[in-house]
């Protein structure tokens, strides 16, 4: 398996990071800080992958890339 990409998005209303990955069906978790989220993700992915048929074949290390994004706005008066 190649690198697992996890997308972490900041929810400003909840003040919470949300993580999902198309590479690992069922991965949906969150945390108050990005560091807490990064610490949780490997264990959750390991649990999810060990429940699949592919995990019974061999043991390997799989890199995880966490891509974080925060969206915000600025209010400005811009001359025409």
| Domain architecture of the chain: domains with CATH | 4-69 (3.30.2390.10)
Q: What is the pLDDT of residues 7-47, one digit of tens each?
A: 999 999 999 999 999 999 999 999 999 999 999 999 999 99
Identify the bridge partners of residue 67 per DSSP, sorted by sequence position: 7
What is the DSSP code (8-state) at residue 71? -
Helices (H), 4-67: 34-50
The model carries a pTM of 0.79
Query: What pLDDT score does 59 carry?
Result: 78
* Predicted local confidence at residue 79, as pLDDT: 83
């Amino acid at each position: 398996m190649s690198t697992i990409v996890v997308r972490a998005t900041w929810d400003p209303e909840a003040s919470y990071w949300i993580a999902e990955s198309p590479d690992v069906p069922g991965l949906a978790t969150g945390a108050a800080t990005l560091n807490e989220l990064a610490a949780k993700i490997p264990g959750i992915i390991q649990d999810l992958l060990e429940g699949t048929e592919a995990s019974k074949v061999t043991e390997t290390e799989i890199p995880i890339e966490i891509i974080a994004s925060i969206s915000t706005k600025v209010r400005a008066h811009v001359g025409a």
